[in-house]
């Protein structure tokens, strides 16, 4: 899997986790949901996400070069 797919998986997991925590623990976890949503929103305009360098350091490959010619 490539970085773009991992980004969607991690973001979806964080949203679902924060909703479960807000339901069972504290509604303040919805701030984390808002943070993830805002990060997704800004990355749509800037094409930058803080998770990309982390995943790159972990060895997750970027898109193959032949797909973007």
Residue 8 is predicted with a pLDDT of 94
Residue 69 is predicted with a pLDDT of 56
pLDDT in tens, 29-59: 999 999 999 999 999 999 999 999 999 999 9
> Residue 40: exposed, middle, or buried by beta-carbon count in 10 A (0-12, 13-18, 19+)?
middle
pLDDT in tens, 10-26: 999 999 999 999 999 99
**Helix, strand or coil, per DSSP, at residue 24:** helix
Residue 36 is predicted with a pLDDT of 96
Residue 64 is predicted with a pLDDT of 73
User: What's the rounded Cα separation, in Å, for the pair 32 and 47?
Assistant: 21
Tell me the two tokens of residue 40. 């997704």
- Please state the length of the chain: 69
């Amino acid at each position: 899997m490539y970085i773009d797919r991992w980004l969607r998986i991690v973001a979806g997991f964080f949203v679902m986790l924060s909703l479960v925590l807000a339901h069972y623990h504290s509604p303040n976890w919805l701030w984390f949901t808002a943070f993830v949503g805002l990060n997704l929103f800004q990355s749509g305009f800037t094409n930058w996400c803080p998770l990309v360098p982390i995943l790159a350091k972990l060895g997750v490959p970027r898109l193959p070069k032949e797909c973007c010619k």
